[in-house]
Amino acid sequence: MWQHLGMRELFQNNRRWAKQIKNTDPLFFENSARRHQPEFLWIGCADSRVPANEIVGLGPGELFVHRNLANLVIESDPNCMSVIQYAIDVLKVKHVIVCGHYGCAGVAAAINGGPDELIDNWLVHIKDLYDRNHPMLADYVDEEQRVDRLCEINVTAQVSNVCHSKIVQAAWQRGQDLKVHGWIYNMTDGLLKDLNITVDTPGGVPEL
């Protein structure tokens, strides 16, 4: 059941959560503050219904996370690129997961037009994907199916962008153990789908 929470309730929730963690593992926070070695970088959508840690059953410190509207990886975005660089060069993650979700409002807005100019500018990369794949997408009479297929195409494109980044290319050139994966999440049943995209060499980057 959805609840309307005030600021006080959020702090109360935090205290309950911290207490539960301490009851399970009294040294959790002390150890967590000293050690940060996640094996996974998650690049996902900012949609609040797609909580990265909960989806894969990982706790604090086990998943390094970057989220933005429509899970885009754009080389000119210093926020995303700095997260990728820190994850790979400093934390030495072994897996980068690009995870989209079906019914993504950002992807739908790229097809139908966003609510304002700023969002439209951000989504121009998905609009380009839509234009390039329009003949195939036009075969989907149902709008929801068309959006969902573009969500999958977008994940593939962002995996490709991750793989082509100078950061990942340099990691592979020095022999670092690193795999890039493409997944998608279904909010209607809570399940992840592997799009069978896993890249661990420069030659394995998916074609668009």
What confidence tens digit (pLDDT) does each residue in 96-110 have? 999 999 999 999 998
Average pLDDT over residues 81-93: 98
> Does any domain span residue 208?
no
138 is in which domain, residue-wise? 11-201
Q: What share of the chain is helix, strand, coil (3-state, %, to 5)?
A: 50, 15, 35
Residue 115: predicted pLDDT: 65
Predicted TM-score (pTM) of the model is 0.92
Is it the case that residue 68 has pLDDT exceeding 80?
A: yes
Catalogue the active-site residues. Answer: 45, 47, 49, 101, 104
Pairing of strands 63-68, 95-101: unpaired
Question: What letter would DSSP give residue 202?
Answer: G
CA dihedral 95, 101, 107, 112 (to 10 degrees): 170
CATH number of the domain to which 137 belongs: 3.40.1050.10
> Does any domain span residue 206?
no
> Does any domain span residue 5?
no
Q: Count of domains in the chain?
A: 1
Identify which has the larger pLDDT, 118 or 142: 142
DSSP 7-71: HHHHHHHHHHHHHHHHHH-TTHHHHHHH----SEEEEEE--TT--HHHHHT--TTSEEEEEETT-
Identify which has the larger pLDDT, 31 or 4: 31
Is it the case that residue 31 has pLDDT exceeding 70?
A: yes
Ranking 49-53, 84-88, 107-111 by mean pLDDT, the lowest is 107-111
Query: Using CA atoms, how far apart are residues 199 and 208, in angstroms rounded to an integer?
Result: 14
Mean of per-residue pLDDT scores for the chain: 93
Residue 7: predicted pLDDT: 87
> Does any domain span residue 207?
no
Is it the case that residue 73 has pLDDT exceeding 50?
A: yes
> Does any domain span residue 125?
yes
> Does any domain span residue 64?
yes
> Does any domain span residue 39?
yes
Residue 2: predicted pLDDT: 54
> Does any domain span residue 3?
no
- Which of 202, 134, 149, 146 shows the shortest CA–CA distance to 171? 202
Task: With beta carbons less than 8 A apart as the criterion, state whether 154 and 148 touch.
Answer: no
- Tallying the residues shown for the chain, one arrives at 208
